[in-house]
Amino acid sequence: MKPINEITLNTVFGNKRIAVFCCNILDFDSEIDILTTSAFCRSYHPTPRTMFEALLSAGISVDELAENPEIDLREPCNIWLSQEVTDSRIPVKRIGCVEMRSFTDYYTERLSVEKRLLASIKAYFQMLDIAATKDIPMETVALPLLGGGVQKISSDLTMIPIINECIEFLKRNPLVKEVYLIEYDAAKAYKFALALEKSYAVYRERSSGTYSSADGKLEDSMAFLSYSSKDRNVADNLCAKLEARGLKVWYAPRNIHSNDYASAIVDAIGKCTHFIVILSKNSMESEHVLNEIDLAFKYMKNIRFLPLRIDSEEMVPAFSYYLSRQHWMEACPPVELKLEEFVKRVMEEF
């Protein structure tokens, strides 16, 4: 089966591949050592039109596999890896599962659904690193677009962060050689393919230590990205889009390489040419974001302010003091549809 997009990573373990496929998982014709699935917490019922129903029709009962996993980290992390599958009519050897917490539990008040999914994905890949130390055969891992079905998780905000996790995972895992990103819906599959292209472009530039642009005008420019950690998904996506256009972006914690967090931020704001702040209820409750805005205003003669508002929360007085006269762009949900427009506006600065 031919992928709609693929990349090759050069790692210390040899060349590895990430490929995007548009197909039904039952029609996939390559061997899959570990097929990744998602479920609500402790819920493996084969609901109609779900992957669990499709797997059951192929002879794989996730419900039964969940009774005796090879690796069981459900209690601390809501992830697990099955024993080897037998009597399957599709070339899948094991099932890995990422479980979503109940929407009514305590964590719902603290973390967005998308952020909880990404935290689970990170933990899931770490579990596969543990599996590698146990010499569990795992050259290929399939990862459908998790959470987009009955869980209704926004794929627009999770695609790029998930791909970034895939890249980091392949760089460090000695056994896995290929990750297959599989999506049945054609429109989502092609968005997955485009996200892969963008993430890989940023990865290559970071690896080479250079940032390029078509006309060279961005070489002396750098954007500082200020945001609440609760809006990390939006920040990750915005950073990837800007860096794919050739603009250097500084944001924490990615660009902090010492224990002196405060000094690193002060130094970066002093060097930046553009200050992008993601305005939201979360950021307006963050003292860190307000401190960064205050610092940026001290260098106002040399910095261009570019606020991006992602919800309709009324501006609190402290933020209004600094930003009431600034022109901001509205990017209320669906945020992803507005990010490209915002990036275009930022690049027009050059």
Domain 5-206, CATH: 3.40.220.10
Residue 73 has φ and ψ, to the nearest 5°, of -120, 35
Q: Is the pLDDT of residue 59 over 60?
A: yes
Q: Give the pair of three-digit tokens for residue 348.
A: 């027009």
Taking only the tens place, the pLDDT of each residue in 167-177 is: 999 999 999 99
* Mean pLDDT (whole number) for 150-162: 69
In CATH, which superfamily holds the domain spanning 211-347? Toll/interleukin-1 receptor homology (TIR) domain (3.40.50.10140)
Mean pLDDT of the chain: 84
pLDDT at 214: 43
pLDDT at 329: 63
pTM of the model: 0.62
Closest CA to 94 of 149, 54, 42, 139: 139
Domain(s) labelled CATH 3.40.220.10 in the chain stretch across 5-206
Per-residue confidence at 149, pLDDT binned at 50, 70, 90?
low
Domain(s) labelled CATH 3.40.50.10140 in the chain stretch across 211-347
Q: Is the pLDDT of residue 65 over 80?
A: yes
* Mean pLDDT (whole number) for 32-57: 90
pLDDT at 304: 86
Per-residue confidence at 97, pLDDT binned at 50, 70, 90?
very high
pLDDT at 218: 63
Give the other-Cβ count within 10 Å of 300's Cβ.
Answer: 11
Residue 229 has φ and ψ, to the nearest 5°, of -60, -25
